[in-house]
Structure 1
């Protein structure tokens, strides 16, 4: 899973900051992802033996796939060497080192050869590719007969705050989301037509609402997401809004780490598609 801009540099500080967001997101939404994997498993023609995680990030999705499909060999693709190093260590620690292989790859240069694919997983990553149609065509060609691809996207940044938070001007979160969207954050189409053009038939598309109880993990998640957002909004919102964000991600009484009015809401849009068998193309 990625949230960064497509051409963001992958330095150590960037990786560490993004890794925190990714890992907390996975911890927050683990019940949802497990139910999604159960739903995906119900759509498969057979138990997958080869699974590819496209844009694997820290590997939270890769590990979830490894747990759900215990007979599969998995390939985790990412363009960040730092993320993949972290993924390898986590896989070893969880006993999956012999089943998970990492491949550093910039998909804009082409899909690496990984063998016939039974299941491809692209969580919050497809929109970062410059030519996703080309990637999807290559993916369709690499799929085993009847292989399945799952694409997920986040409709907007997660929501944590009521409209009036008692500091700054009401509507801060909405303005920040609009500013992020205006800078191209997380822009993606309905992937259904792209998948069909590439050689897949749609199985299911759905939008799922996500929510979570407020606890220490969700507070740290809100803090990490808002901190990440704050780093990208200079000159995009008012100085007053930036000051309010600084207070929200600080450690004072206004911090999301301490607020009593915190909520955690989000969404995922999911596409499940199956490779069209050669004789049906």
Structure 2
């Protein structure tokens, strides 16, 4: 299972990447972990909210967990819960198990390896809280996937999906080189790339992205919608700067051909460690992103 970390499709997420068929997950794992760790403040906010929506769950399932950074945050947020990380990439789940052991939660941490959502049929019992972050948009029929996830919830259980929000911003509108508005134009190219990804999925179904309506049609009761902010102002830590650099580099590889020559040249300068105007050196680089979480409950 693979998922980019957002509706802004500019970097791998707590679970992965669009070109997932050919990805070496063992090689990708450190990058995925570093990104999820950077986003930890946002996830902790979301979990504090979920603790009010779904108090004291016995079983939490992270659907499309990747290397388990967020799964382990759930284990910390819900100290009485058993947590299961489910993903299609075995090497990432190996990392998840190692992380759980390292953090002292391995005794109540499990993994399921296989295609989603089908592998959830191997759960020993239904989930009280199920989390799916940026994984549903990689499934052709999202409405059917929601219904399948709901079928693995206990009566009264909560499904929380993280989809949409606002694209990540790293740079001011005018960065002093090239044409102002570079990131906005890059986001437009990303939207086209995302639409092409959706269109190429097996069994894809065109869908208005009204998540509350889709959750309702899947037989669940929509209970809440809330967006959470990651706000890392300039000057950035070395870890956050490395994340921005990697994100822009991967964007250059994936959607650079959709930019005009001026924007490509500007992006190349931003990624050149020897250039004073690069994101490696400039002091105005920041990280600002919003992720939206929708919750729904299985009727009792």
TM-score, normalized by length of structure 1? Answer: 0.88
Post-superposition shift, 1:15? 5.4
Partners in 1 of 2:80 and 2:127 — Cα distance?
14
Partners in 2 of 1:34 and 1:169 — Cα distance?
37
For residues 40-72 of structure 1, give each alpha carbon's deviation from its aligned partner in whole angstroms, at most 9, with x where no partner exists: 11112x411111101101211101001011121
Query: What is aligned with 1:81?
Result: 90
Aligned length: 274
Post-superposition shift, 1:254? 2.5
Q: Tell me if structure 2 keeps the 8 A contact 1:25–1:221.
A: yes
Query: What is aligned with 2:265?
Result: 243
SS in 1 for 2:284: coil
Give the 3 Å change call, closer, same or farther, for CA 110–176 of structure 1 in structure 2: same
Return 5+ residue gaps in structure 1 as ranges.
Answer: none
The yes-or-no answer on 1:11 pairing with 2:23 is yes
Post-superposition shift, 1:74? 1.4
Give the one of 280, 283, 297 matched to 1:257: 280
| Coordinate RMSD, CA, aligned | 2.3
Deviates more, 1:206-215 or 1:147-156: 206-215
Post-superposition shift, 1:108? 6.0
Return 5+ residue gaps in structure 2 as ranges.
Answer: 5-15, 199-207
For residues 59-117 of structure 1, give each alpha carbon's deviation from its aligned partner in whole angstroms, at most 9, with x where no partner exists: 11101001011121111111222322222222222222222222122226564331211
Q: Tell me if structure 1 keeps the 8 A contact 2:46–2:228.
A: no
Post-superposition shift, 1:159? 0.5
Partners in 2 of 1:108 and 1:245 — Cα distance?
38
The yes-or-no answer on 1:204 pairing with 2:255 is no
Query: What is aligned with 2:3?
Result: 2
Query: What is aligned with 1:190?
Result: 210
Post-superposition shift, 1:251? 1.6
Partners in 1 of 2:29 and 2:98 — Cα distance?
17
The yes-or-no answer on 1:102 pairing with 2:111 is yes
TM-score, normalized by length of structure 2? Answer: 0.83
